[in-house]
Homo-oligomer: A and B are copies of this chain.
Amino acid sequence: MEISQKEAILQQFPQFEQTLLDEILTHSTIKQVEEGEEVMRTGQYIRSTVLLLSGLLKVYREDDEGNEFLMYYLEPGNACALSMMCTARDEQSQIMAKAVTVAEVILIPSHLSEQWLAKYKSWHNFVIASYRQRFEELLQTLDSIAFKGLDERLLFYLKRHVKVSGKEIRLSHQQIALELNSSREVISRLLKKLEQSGAITLHRNFIEVHDLEVV
Residues of A within 8 A of B (CB): 61, 63, 65, 67, 69, 71, 81, 85-87, 93, 95, 117-118, 121, 124, 127-128, 131-132, 134-136, 138-139, 141-143, 145-147, 181
**A169: min CB distance to chain B, Å:** 22
Chain A interface mostly helix, strand, loop or mixed? helix
**In the complex, what residue of chain B is closest to A118 when comparing beta carbons?**
B121
- Of all chain B residues, the one with the shortest Cβ separation from A148 is B63
The answer to whether B131 and A67 have CB atoms under 8 Å apart is no
Closest partner residue, chain B, to A130 (CB atom): B131
Q: Which residue of B lies closest to A142 (CB)?
A: B142
A63 with B143, Cβ < 8 A, contacts A85-B132, A135-B135, A138-B138 known = yes
Question: Of all chain B residues, which has the CB nearest A65?
Answer: B147
